[in-house]
Amino acid sequence: MMANMTKDRMVAFRVTDEEYNALERAAGKERRSVGNFVREGLMLDLMLDFDHTFMSEVRRQIRQRIEEKTFQRELPIAKKKRA
Find which of 10-14, 17-21, 53-57 is predicted with most confidence, using mean pLDDT. 17-21
Distance in angstroms (rounded) separating the CA atoms of residues 21 and 17: 6
Contacts of 23 (CB under 8 A, 6+ apart): 15, 34, 37, 38
Q: What is the pTM of this model?
A: 0.54
**pLDDT value for 72:** 54
Q: What percent of the chain has pLDDT over 70?
A: 77
